[in-house]
Amino acid sequence: MKSPFITFIALTLALTTVATAESTTLRSLIAKGDIHDKRFEPDSALDYYLKAEKEAPKDASLLVKIARQYIYIMDKTSKKASKKEIAQTALAYSKRAVAEAPTDCHSHLSLAICYGKLTPLVGTRERITISSKLKSAAENAIQCDQSNDYAWHLLGRWHQALAGVGGVTRSIAKLVYGTIPEASYGKAVECFRKASSLNQNRLIHQIELGRTYAAMGRKTDARTLIKRGLAMPNTEYDDPATKRRGRESLKEL
């Protein structure tokens, strides 16, 4: 008859083997998803990430990866109603990521990105409300990691967008915020410059800084920055769309 100690050791080894197998499976699923993520193949990436989610539903970094795939899919969708539904799905995953990792920069960054994607799909009043949440998420991301260039970029986009709104939208903003937020093109420039200083290889920083200068009437600076960004190679998913905005701004100068 086996002793209780030997039985305990055998059970412990068995449980360890199972846990190791589950861990290996999880890592394998995420690794395979990452391959498709880098290729900008969201449907294939999701196949692996959603399976991994069943193994680790509270893994914040995995939830951020899943949210990103839904944003990619949203960008490829043409119907506004479908785009909104997919963006809300991505937003839900980002909120879960923040709940699981409230001090993680990427969780807050994902939340800010999702709010930004949802903004043009809603009415004016809701857009202003979401804008407030975007700003908070971007600021939280910066607080978690001040060296994250894209967090600074998103805060710059918030200043850029709100600085350019018209009278009616500003009135609604006053109702939502209680006062007109201190948004300005000057603050947008500061944020974009900070983002660029942290990562000079992202063309979106150059082009959006140039577009901000264009809004300020600084045409020479605008042309220089936008052309610099347009000359850079596409390396990220939204680079083609960013370049389209840049080319449109150049035509208006």
Q: How far, in Å, CA of 178 to CA of 158, rounded?
A: 18
59 lies in some domain: no
Residues of the chain above pLDDT 90, percent: 77
Residue pair 158/131 in contact (Cβ under 8 Å)? The answer is: yes
Average pLDDT of 142-168?
90
210 lies in some domain: yes
pLDDT of residue 2: 52
With bands split at pLDDT 50, 70 and 90, how would you rate the model's confidence at 170?
low
104 lies in some domain: no
pLDDT of residue 123: 87
List Cβ neighbours of 158 (8 Å cut-off, separation of 6 or more): 131, 134, 135, 138, 183
Domain that holds residue 228: 200-253
* Count of C-beta atoms within a 10 Å radius of residue 136: 15
163 lies in some domain: no
180 lies in some domain: no
pTM of the model: 0.85
* Site of tokens 């449907």: 43
11 lies in some domain: no
Q: Provide the domain count of the chain.
A: 1
252 lies in some domain: yes
> Measuring CA to CA, which residue among 95, 47, 53, 55 is closest to residue 73?
47
87 lies in some domain: no
